[in-house]
Amino acid sequence: MNVLFCSNPMNSKQVDDNYEQEYDAARSVGITTALIDIESLLAGDTKSAIRNVRMKEESSLAIYRGWMLNPQHYRNLYEALQSKNIILINTPEQYIHCHYLPNSFKHIKSKSMETEWIEVSQMETLLRESLKKFGNRPLIVKDYVKSRKHDWLEACFIPNANDIEHAEKVIHRFIELQAEMLAEGIVLREFVDLEIIGFHPLSRMPLANERRLFFLNQQLIANFDYWDEVLYQNNDFPLDEFVALAQKVESNFFTMDVAKKKDGKWIVMELGDGQVSGLPIKTNKKSFYEQICS
């Protein structure tokens, strides 16, 4: 297995500071590493982006570990690496499958909250119809990838879906703030009360009892506390149920974020492509990469 990390924007021969610990951990367990120039990739210069990646004599599998890419940039990277005999672990289609919530929601629907989505081109005709499906329940709005939870009242939380005027105000503000970063459309999700286990020391944002699971070839390889800022007291949760759910996911390397509700039930929050999903700071990164190469 090869692992390709983002290079430092100031020095393409050095790893990005944010991935230095992972880079060192991967190399310490014998994984072959290389560096991708993400600035060149985002600028459309794929040849420069992979200039520090050596040609392989035979077809070799690789994992990209770096910043989130939109589907087109990922496809460009995937195709460019093929010229070096390197095949990324997830095809462009598999990347989108977990990167865009609507694409994989069918696999987690039984263990998740009610969710509706609308493409930008259908907003005018379908928005009110979608809101009505939630009755008077509270919602959150996001795009196919991200929310704006730090703009909670302004562009994320809708207290009552029946209050169409206020709901539309929040949604349109979300779209305005996302601007060119808006991914495909909007997603409306039922707001659920999660078990709060602490507060962020700086922002004072409530931190829920959440976990991040990593799967490689449908096998669980890591089970992490989601937040570094709080001490998890009880890690008991129905892991087997989520492992069973993961067997249906159309990806070779992905994450599943799960959370505990106030009523004690555990739900799936979302899936993510494992190549662009972060590791908690306290993660034993050497152990993580040992699992990847085992």
**Domain residue spans in the chain?**
2-89, 114-190, 193-274
State the Cα–Cα distance between residues 214 and 279, nearest whole angstrom. 10
> Which fold does the domain 193-274 belong to in CATH?
D-amino Acid Aminotransferase; Chain A, domain 1 (3.30.470)
- Rounded to 5 degrees, what are φ and ψ at 32? -75, 130
Q: Taking a C-beta distance cutoff of 8 angstroms, is the pair 162, 135 a contact?
A: yes
Q: Which residues of the chain have pLDDT under 50?
A: none
The predicted pLDDT at position 281 comes to: 87
How does pLDDT run across 79-115, given as a tens digit for each residue?
Answer: 999 999 999 999 999 999 999 999 999 999 999 999 9
* Measured CA distances, 13 to 18, 36, 42, 275 (Å): 15, 9, 18, 21
The predicted pLDDT at position 203 comes to: 67
State the Cα–Cα distance between residues 42 and 240, nearest whole angstrom. 39
How does pLDDT run across 164-197, given as a tens digit for each residue?
Answer: 999 999 999 999 999 989 999 999 999 999 998 8
